[in-house]
Chain A
Amino acid sequence: MGDGASAARDYAIETRDMGVRYSLRFTKKTSIRRSFARLLHPERGERSFWALRDVSFRVDPGQSLGVIGPNGAGKSTLLQVLAGIIQPSEGVVEVHGHVSTLLHLQAGFDQDLSGRGNIHLAGALLGIDHRLMEEREESIVEFADIGAFIDAPLRTYSSGMRAKLGFSIATAVDPDILLLDEVLQTGDEAFREKSQGRIREVLTAAKAVVLVSHDMSWITDFCNRAILLEKGRIVADGSPEEVVALHVEKSEKRRTIRRAVMEDMRTGKREPKRRRKIIEAATQGSSGKGASGRGASGGGGSRTGTDEGPC
C-alpha cells in the first residue's frame, strides 16, 4: 500500500491481521551446543508460539482504547508492537503520530549520571528534540520534587525518588499517542495523588490512548472503547461496559474452575464428576459472544517468561 502516503490520515493506529510469533528456539539459555543439537534433530526444534494472532483494529483520533484480558493474553506484547519495540511477524501496524509509552518509567536510567543527566538521556532515548527537553527540564525537576538530589548520581537515590523522577520524565512530553501499561502506583501518598492528576491530564491531552489495565474502573472511566484479548486473539470489541462485563464474567468462571481443580489437588482424590458439575454450573450463565469455554487453566500457562509485566 504505497499510495496515500501524504494524504491526511483519519486514524491514529491501525493494525491489520497482525501477529507476533516468538521462536522458542532462542530463549535465554540457548548455547551453541544446543543449536548444533537442533541442527542434528530438526524435528525436535522449531517450536514457536504466537503471542498475538489475527489482530485487527483501528484507533481513531480522540478515541481511547482499553485493552483487557487474563495474564499472558498478549496485552504487553500488543503495546510493545504499537510502540515499535517489536516488529510483527505477519500483518501490518501503522501508527501516525509521536508515540510515548509509560512502559519505561525507569528503564533508561543510568546509575552514574545525575538526575539531570538522566532527564536528558531519557529525552534522547525517546527521540525528543534536545531543545524541547531543555525547555521542560525545570518543570520536570519541579514535579519530581526530590530537592538537591537532582544533581547527585542516580545510584544514591532511594527507590521512591527514582520512581518520582521516572514518572516526571515519562509524563513531561505530551505525546500524540499514549500507550499506558497498568496504572502507575509510585512514590508516597502525596505524590500518588499528584501523579494521578497528571495522568488524567496527559490522557485527555493525547490524540489517542491505548490503556492496558487490570483495574476495570480505569477502563470504564477513561476509555470509550475496549477490546478483550485472550490467548493472543481479540475475542470481544465494543463499549467498555460490555467488554468489561464479559471479561469479569469469564474470569469469574475461570476462577471457579481453578478453585475446583485446586480443591481436587488438595484433597488428593480426583472427583471428575463433582468437578464437571461445578464447571457446568459456571458455564451455564454465560451467553456472551465468543464464550467457547477456553482457558480452562487460566490462560496463563502457555507463556514462558515473555510477558512479565515491564514495570
Chain B
Amino acid sequence: MQTATEAPSSFRSSALRPGPLGLIREASGEILRRRRLIRHLMDADIKRKGADTILGNVWWVLDPVIQMGAYLILLTVIFQRSTPDFPLFLFAAILPWKWFASSISGAVNTVVRQERLIKQVQFPKIVLPVSALVAEILNFAFGVLLMLLILFLAFPAHATINVLWLPVIAVVQFVFTLGLALIVSAVNVFYRDVGILMGHLIRLWFFLSPTLWSFDSTVGRFGAIEAALGETGVAILRYNPFAILLTAYRDVVYGRVDLAGTGFTPGQSPELVQLGILFLISVGMVLLGTIIFKRLEPAFAKVL
C-alpha cells in the first residue's frame, strides 16, 4: 500500500498549541508543502471569476481601463482638473490600488466561504487566503503589461529606466497585503462584521490615498488641506502605507507634476527609505498575521 503524501500522515493533537515561533514555522512549512493545493485553488478561483462572462479573462484588462475612464470623465470634465497626461497619472495609481482592494475583499471571505470543506477535511487553512492573493497577482501582472504598453506607446515622454523599480514596489505591496489579508480573513470567521466594515474602510482609504490626486498636484491648495486636517491629519495622509506605495508607483511610471501644475518631470526612482521602512513594517504584519491566523485556525471548524 502506497502512502505517498504531501501532508504529514501521522499526527498527535492535544489542547497544547505551539508558541509564536512554532506557529510561524508550521505555517511556512504548510505553504511550501501544499504548493499544489494552492495552485489548484487558484485555478478554481480564476475559473470562478471568468465563468458566465462572454469576455472571460479579458475583463482583467478591461476592468481597470473602464474604471480609469470613469475617473477621467469625473475629474477632467466635471471637476475641470488639468494635470498633464492625466490618463497615465491616474492609471499608475488606480491599477495597484485595484490590486489591493480586490485582494483584500477577495481574501476576507475565503475562509468563511469554504465552511463545508473546513468542517469535513483536515487541511491547512492558511492556503485559502494565500491562494486568493496569488490569483490576484496574475490579474495585476496583466494590468501592468497594459500599463507599460500605454506608457511606451501613448506617453513615451514619461518613460525612463526607472520603471524597472515596479517589481520592487509590487513586492512591498504584496507583503503588506498578505499581512492584512491573514488578519482579516481569520477574524472574519468570528465577526462577520469585519467583512462588511472592510468594504467601507477600503473605499475611504481610496479617497484618502493619492490615487485621484497627488501631493504634487495639490501644491497650491495644500495650505487649505493642512488647515482642514490639522498636523496629525496631514501626517496620516502622507505616511499612510498607500500614500508611500502609490507615490512610488507614480514616481517610476509617470514621474512628477511640476510645481506650476502644467508640466512634468519623467519617471524617477522612488523614495527608497520610505519603501524600505514600509517593507519592514509589512514583514512584521505578515508575522503577526500568521500568528493570529494560526492561533484562531483550530476554532474554525467549530465556529463555522
Contacts and interface: CB of A to CB of B under 8 A. Distances in A.
A125 interface: yes
B116 A107 contact: yes
A129 B6 contact: yes
A97 B2 contact: no
B14 interface: yes
Contacts of A117: 40, 43-44
Contact of A97 (B10, B15, B17, B47): B10
Contacts of A120: 40
Contact of A112 (B6, B9, B10, B51): B51
Contacts of A152: none
Contacts of A97: 3, 9-10
Contacts of A84: 11, 13, 122
Interface stretch (B97-105, B136-144, B164-172, B294-302): B294-302
Nearest to B44: A110
A35 B194 CA distance: 14
Contact of A132 (B2, B39, B123, B303): B2
B181 to A, nearest CB: 20
A139 to B, nearest CB: 14
B188 to A, nearest CB: 12
A124 B34 contact: yes
Given A84-B11, A94-B10, 11 more contacts: A22-B302, A26-B302, A31-B191, A84-B122, A85-B301, A89-B15, A112-B44, A127-B5, A128-B5, A153-B47, A310-B120
Contacts of B44: 110, 112-113, 117, 121
Given A95-B11, A120-B40, A130-B6, A30 B191 contact: yes
A110 B210 CA distance: 39
Contacts of A30: 190-191
Interface stretch (A98-106, A221-229, A268-276): A98-106
A101 B117 CA distance: 12
Nearest to B297: A87
B7 interface: yes
Contacts of B122: 83-85, 99
A106 to B, nearest CB: 9
28 contacts: A22-B302, A26-B190, A26-B302, A31-B192, A83-B121, A85-B119, A85-B122, A86-B298, A86-B301, A90-B15, A92-B13, A93-B12, A98-B5, A103-B120, A113-B43, A113-B47, A121-B40, A121-B44, A124-B36, A124-B39, A125-B117, A126-B7, A126-B121, A127-B6, A128-B6, A130-B36, A153-B47, A176-B9
B215 to A, nearest CB: 35
Contacts of B123: 125-127
Contacts of B34: 124, 127
A114 to B, nearest CB: 9
A131 to B, nearest CB: 7
Interface in B220-264: none
A132 B12 contact: no
A147 B104 CA distance: 40
A91 interface: yes
A217 interface: no
- Of all A-B residue pairs in the complex, the 10 with the closest CB atoms, nearest first, are A127-B7, A129-B4, A124-B37, A84-B122, A98-B9, A112-B47, A104-B120, A107-B120, A110-B44, A121-B40
Nearest to A14: B12
A108 interface: yes
B1 interface: yes
Contacts of B17: 87
A205 interface: yes
A213 interface: no
A88 B48 contact: no
Nearest to B193: A32
B41 interface: yes
B294 to A, nearest CB: 12
Interface in A108-160: 108, 110-113, 117, 120-121, 124-132, 153
Given A95-B12, A112-B44, A127-B123, A86 B302 contact: yes
Contacts of B1: 174, 176, 205
B15 A87 contact: yes
A70 B278 CA distance: 57
B204 to A, nearest CB: 19
Nearest to A107: B120
A286 interface: no
